[in-house]
Amino acid sequence: MMRHALALALAGSLAALSSGAARAAEATPQPPREKWSFAGPFGKFDRAQLQRGFKVYREVCSSCHSMSLLSLRNLAERGGPEFTREQATVIASEYKVKDGPNDQGEMFERPGRLADRFPAPFPNDAAARAANGGAAPPDLSVIAKARGYERGFPWFLTDMVTQYQEHGVDYINALLNGYEDPPPAGVSLPPGAQYNKYFPGHAILMPKPLSDGQVSYTDGAAQTLGQYSKDVTAFLMWASEPHLEARKRIGFQVMLFLLIFAGLLYFTKKKVWKTAEAPAERARGQIPVEGKP
């Protein structure tokens, strides 16, 4: 009886999860899964894509969004956009950084240096809220890890096996492509809100940030909304996890070491057991002693 009750309870909970996931899917469609160069245990960032994504962030996103956890020197570090140090120095110098006080006790602006953090577009959160209709734009340092969506049952089980970890970037990419103007018939939005089919509740205060031809590329990549969104999303993934490639490389090395170590332990233990069992077998007469029949 207890086993039957547990089975019924488990079946009921799984059914509830499935129905809840179905209702959520009807309300807000799931972002489509995209192919990313950094996905999977051996994934790596596309350097050209990261550099294009930085260009999109700098020319479009940085006017409202900060990226306070990253320094300008990170642009030249291994595993990221990998600008040369000279290129990164020039990029840094084009930013204006508030510093001080000077000898007269006053704050002043100076060209940025590699050691500086990415400058914020607003002096404080209150100023950010005042300039954006009462809602401060989120910092983008870890946005690709902080955002995501629920895939529901049974997909979260398969994600554990396939190591799918791109919920955040799929959501951001879909969000940037999810604006609809005009909104669907019968949908009313609060003043100043935009309709986005992938945003929970569909009413988002951020105006549509990207459109075709908005940012100029010099490497021949398409200058379209789809390309811009994928490039800046990949850049934000790197911003959230600058050492992703090193983590995956070290993880692979650790797994390889553990496999070799486990194999050595197995064969060593097998040899030790065989050596330890030999005297007992010899005592029982199963193994002849040298010089005796």
**99 within 8 A of 263, measured Cβ to Cβ:** no
Q: What is the pLDDT of residue 174?
A: 97
In the chain, what are the helix, strand and coil shares in percent, each to the nearest 5?
50, 5, 45
**Number of domains present in the structure of the chain:** 1
Q: What is the pLDDT of residue 279?
A: 67
Q: Report the alpha-carbon distance of residue 137 to residue 202 in Å, rounded.
A: 17
pTM of the model as a whole: 0.80
Position 174 in a domain: yes
Q: What is the pLDDT of residue 153?
A: 72
Q: Report the alpha-carbon distance of residue 141 to residue 65 in Å, rounded.
A: 9
**175 within 8 A of 232, measured Cβ to Cβ:** no
Q: What is the pLDDT of residue 75?
A: 97
Q: What is the pLDDT of residue 285?
A: 61
Position 125 in a domain: yes
Position 268 in a domain: no
Position 149 in a domain: yes
Cis geometry, peptide bond prior to residue 137 (ω within 30 degrees of 0): no
Q: What is the pLDDT of residue 134?
A: 87
Position 253 in a domain: no
Question: If the chain, 293 residues long, is cut into consecutive pieces of 10 residues, what is the mean pLDDT of each piece?
Answer: 45 42 58 93 95 98 96 96 97 94 90 96 94 92 90 71 83 97 91 94 94 96 98 98 92 90 85 70 59 55
Dig out the tokens for 257 from the structure: 């070491």
Q: Report the alpha-carbon distance of residue 184 to residue 57 in Å, rounded.
A: 30
Q: Report the alpha-carbon distance of residue 59 to residue 286 in Å, rounded.
A: 83
Q: Which residues of 260-269 are buried (b: 16+ CB within 10 A; e: fewer)?
A: eeeeeeeeee
∠ CA 80-84-85, rounded to 5°: 105
Rg (CA), the chain: 28
Q: Which residues of 77-95 are buried (b: 16+ CB within 10 A; e: fewer)?
A: eebbbebeeeebbebbeeb
Q: Report the alpha-carbon distance of residue 118 to residue 61 in Å, rounded.
A: 13
Residue 69 burial (CB < 10 Å; 0-12/13-18/19+)?
A: middle
Q: What is the pLDDT of residue 151?
A: 74
Position 192 in a domain: yes
Q: What is the pLDDT of residue 280?
A: 62
**Residue 70, Cα to own-chain centre: how many angstroms?**
15
Position 97 in a domain: no
Position 258 in a domain: no
∠ CA 275-277-281, rounded to 5°: 125
Q: State the residue range of the domain holding 48.
A: 23-70+117-242
Q: Which amino acid is at 45?
A: F
Q: What is the pLDDT of residue 17?
A: 38
Q: Report the alpha-carbon distance of residue 17 to residue 155 in Å, rounded.
A: 11
Residue 143 belongs to a domain with what CATH number? Answer: 1.10.760.10
Q: How confident is the model over 84-122, as pLDDT tens digits?
A: 999 999 999 999 999 989 888 999 999 999 999 999 999
Q: What is the pLDDT of residue 178?
A: 97
